Structure 1
Amino acid sequence: MLLLLLPSAFLLLPWAGAGRIIGGREVKPHSRPYMAYLQIESGSDTYRCGGFLIQPDAVLSAAHCVHGKGKVNITVTLGAHNIKKKELSQQKFHVGCWVIHPRYLNYRSGNDIMLLKLKKKAKMTKYVKPISLPSHNKTVTPGTKCSVSGWGQTSVTGHRTDVMLEVDLELQREEVCEESFKGYWCQSMICAGDMRGRKSTYNGDSGGPLVCNWKAHGIVSYGYQNKPFPKVFTRVSYFEPWINEQLRKFAIQEASKCT
């Protein structure tokens, strides 16, 4: 998640993706105990994404983090601030199984949500705690200040941060989002960020949470290459029934049988 203060000249560069944080800052270590770091291995390639803990053995992220990559192995790290260090606070898990929303086609089509089941339950500590989700179809008012955290690129040249960074984003009005993104559907999507604040997300932190009023209202999804502001997030409250259905299925399935 590219948390970087860029000079205004760079704001005209073509960008793609939605994981980097622009105009952000390093967070107080371990102040976001719900954050998850996903390492995704596919053949000889390794990808990274963000995610967030919603119960001791379940993490939410974005479907596009694994879609189209074939057979993958996913490792989840909880309780991390610096992902390059072996911090005593960290807990690492293999993912037993995951489920992508059945109507997901690609990130622009919406339904960009994935639920992962950890092979073992995480131990709840002051460094590892789940975040609450909004109730079904609960909305947040345009203009609300929210935040996005993660470990992604910090420059257009691909430099990444090892420590967790965060940016504050303002929620946009539906009309702005509909004008900015073809196929934008306000029921299942949120968009945030504006040119005035010069803050945004970009490559590397897809799947991380958009946190508003201490709840995870969005999941980092996508943005257009030539429009760094705003960016689109999956609206968590719209998918609350689906999330609960999958959690019930997880509870009665063995991890080895639900991939």
Structure 2
Amino acid sequence: MLLLLLISSAFVLPWAGAGRIIGGKEVVPHSRPYMAYLKIKVKDRSGSKPSSCGGFLIRPDAVLSAAHCVPKKGLKVTVILGAHNINVQEWSQQRIHVTDWVIHPNYSSASLQNDIALLKLRSRARINENVTFISIPRSNEHVRVGTRCRVAGWGDTSVYGSTTDVMMEVDLKVQNETLCQQEFHDYQRLSMICVGDQNSGKSTYEGDSGGPLVCNKKAHGIVSYGPSGRLLPLVFTRVSYFVPWIRQQLRRFALQELPASPSSQ
């Protein structure tokens, strides 16, 4: 899975690496039907090894993820929905190509501010018990400090490179923003969420970029970055802050599907 990016020189290649959930457990198969696995490949490099990221379905034709997962054009992105074991051709899986995506215009690869991207699927997902979308919060709706949330994804399960093919999940607690403000110079309280649990030994250490932070059955955050050399605290993109932008892009996607009017021909 794509690296949960650190603010360091490692950010030069944001689509290389593997993701990890530490201290988590395997989820009940297909119990997180909103989860998306993003398979990412550079178009002009034949034979290059694909990288990957997390994401989540918010509409049958749209997936939210992190901007650092798809920082440029020239990538071939395939979304896999309905997966539990990502390396098995499960009957529940739907593989859909991404036709277009948009990253936030103020996204910064240096500070990871505005680390959000919206992906348009070539065809609509078939909604069923294994594939469905998740709600996002209202504009500027906040989740309280101390709230227990969860993050799911695929990837390594320890700092030593232990791997898993099945979806794992970890519980994490929303922290006071002062913790992240002290740790990260570029932390923005309005557009980011500070998450972690210092005593739990649980983390999304270097992993699950683009996946959702689910609190109270809503996707409140997007996995963005963490500290170098330590597990916590973690920074998530605050979805509620970007709701107006998300709605605007969804409308643009919908307009792209309309047939050309007579006056435009």
TM-score, structure 2 normalization: 0.87
Structure 1 segment 181-196 matched on structure 2, within 5 A: 181-196=184-199
* Structure 2: gaps spanning 5 or more residues: 3-9, 12-16, 259-265
**Mean Cα deviation higher: 103-112 or 216-225:** 103-112
**Mean Cα deviation higher: 198-207 or 245-254:** 198-207
Identity of aligned residues (%): 61
Task: Tell me the amino acid that sits aligned with residue 73 of structure 1.
Answer: K
Q: CA deviation at 1:108?
A: 2.5
Secondary structure at 2:241 match in 1: helix
Deviations 1:119-170 (A, max 9, x none): 0000100000100000000001110000000002223243432100000000
Match of 2:105 in 1: 102
Whole-angstrom distance in 2 between the partners of 1:196 and 1:21: 16
Match of 2:125 in 1: 122
Match of 1:23 in 2: 23
Q: Runs (4+) of structure 1 moved beyond 6 Å?
A: 15-18
Change over 3 Å in CA distance of 1:18–1:91 after alignment to 2: closer
Whole-angstrom distance in 2 between the partners of 1:206 and 1:183: 18
Matched, 1:60 2:64: yes
Q: CA deviation at 1:226?
A: 2.2
Given that 2:150 and 2:170 are in contact with CA atoms closer than 8 Å, whether structure 1 keeps it comes out as: yes
Deviations 1:62-117 (A, max 9, x none): 0001215x511000000000011111111110001000000012163310000000
Matched, 1:201 2:204: yes
Change over 3 Å in CA distance of 1:140–1:107 after alignment to 2: farther
Whole-angstrom distance in 1 between the partners of 2:172 and 2:212: 12
Given that 1:172 and 1:192 are in contact with CA atoms closer than 8 Å, whether structure 2 keeps it comes out as: yes
Match of 1:36 in 2: 36
Whole-angstrom distance in 2 between the partners of 1:241 and 1:19: 30
Given that 2:194 and 2:234 are in contact with CA atoms closer than 8 Å, whether structure 1 keeps it comes out as: yes
Choose from 229, 232, 236 the match for 1:233.
Answer: 236
Deviations 1:221-249 (A, max 9, x none): 00111231111000000000000000000
Choose from 216, 219, 227 the match for 1:216.
Answer: 219
Deviations 1:177-208 (A, max 9, x none): 11121111110000111221111112341000
Choose from 176, 179, 195 the match for 2:179.
Answer: 176
Whole-angstrom distance in 1 between the partners of 2:165 and 2:32: 15
Q: CA RMSD in A?
A: 2.0
Given that 1:40 and 1:48 are in contact with CA atoms closer than 8 Å, whether structure 2 keeps it comes out as: yes
Given that 1:82 and 1:162 are in contact with CA atoms closer than 8 Å, whether structure 2 keeps it comes out as: yes
How many residue pairs get matched? 242
Name which structure has the greater RCO, CA cutoff 8 Å, separation 6+: 1
**Mean Cα deviation higher: 191-200 or 214-223:** 191-200
Given that 2:223 and 2:235 are in contact with CA atoms closer than 8 Å, whether structure 1 keeps it comes out as: yes
Given that 2:41 and 2:77 are in contact with CA atoms closer than 8 Å, whether structure 1 keeps it comes out as: yes
* Structure 1: gaps spanning 5 or more residues: 3-14
Structure 1 segment 81-100 matched on structure 2, within 5 A: 81-100=84-103
Choose from 134, 142, 147 the match for 1:144.
Answer: 147
